[in-house]
Amino acid sequence: MDKQTKGITVKINGQEKTFSEEIMQHDEQEQAATTEEEEWGIPNIEHDANVADKVVYIEDLRDIKKKNVKLAKKKAVYSGTPFKKALMIGILAAVIGTGLGMVSLRLLTANNLEAETPSSSIVTAQQPTKTETTKPLPTSQSENLDVFTVQAGVFSTEKAAKEGKEGLQKKGYAASLVKNDETYLLFIGVGMNQSDAKSLAGTYKGNGVDSFAKSYTIQSLDQKVKPIYEKLAGQSMQAALGQDIDSVSDAEKKLTNMKETSEVKKLREVCQLLGSYREDKKAEDATKAQELLLNVLSDHTS
């Protein structure tokens, strides 16, 4: 083996010191030296006889070692098999996709809720206005009236009832139909006391008309109309019996001051007929007055 002396100058604490060492020209020693130099980051030096002395600073060696350590860490971070890289990319993509999906779902849900829940001002604008309907008269403004009628029959069909009514009218009797559940009642007289009703039924029976007296209730008569109807019904039945009657001028005046309705109109006509009866005692006037009163009764029960 060849030996060669090499001088190395090292600066320690600002002072340079020179060291001498013998370098053995041997393959195994060169490999060991080369490996050690690579670990410390020292570049390879050609071992030539003419190599000059070189100054190496410890601070420089430390800097080189630190750089090598950082490079090694970076390589460790970025090193890895393709399978691991693909796995990490897949996990990252799944996390990002899940996050975006949740955000989109919340946005869609919020939009749907806003669309389905209109503002209170819109709801108020779309509310339909209430239409006023005709209310029935309160109980305090209407009353029932109990009367006595002369009944000439009960029919199971409307056709038979109408035929019976028309037959009596042709004979000169007052007649009116009232539907009662599934039957039809045929009335031929109305008054305010039972004795007058029985007397009239007996008169009609004597003329060949089978009839009888029966109480009946007229429903929901106006309070103002009720007393007028009572007086006219009583006077009208007495006229049908051929008796003298009292004046009904007061009732006629009250009806004149009332609102014109079908009911008021019929009662005013009754007043006129009874006024004519007082003068000439015509039975036809009494019969017409009875029929108009029966029609008012029918209007409140049919």
In this predicted model, what pLDDT tens digit does every residue of 121-168 receive, in sequence order? Answer: 333 334 434 433 334 445 447 789 999 999 999 999 999 999 999 999
CATH fold of 141-299 reads Alpha-Beta Plaits (3.30.70)
pLDDT, tens digit (0-9, with 9 covering 90-100), for 80-95: 566 667 777 778 777 7
Higher pLDDT, 242 or 7: 242
Contact (CB, 8 A) for 49 and 22:
no
Cβ–Cβ contacts within 10 Å for residue 143, how many? 16
**Banded pLDDT at 52 (limits 50, 70, 90):** very low
* Residue 283 three-state SS: helix
In this model, does residue 48 exceed pLDDT 50? no
Distant-in-sequence, close-in-space partners of 237: CB < 8 Å, separation ≥ 6: 189, 190, 191, 192, 196, 197, 200, 290
Segments making up each domain of the chain, as ranges: 3-78, 141-299
| pLDDT at 136 (0 to 100) | 45
Amino acid at 119: S
- The residue assigned the tokens 């779309």 is 126
225-240 helix and 194-206 helix, angle to the nearest 10 degrees: 40
Check: CB of residue 10 under 8 Å from CB of residue 19.
yes
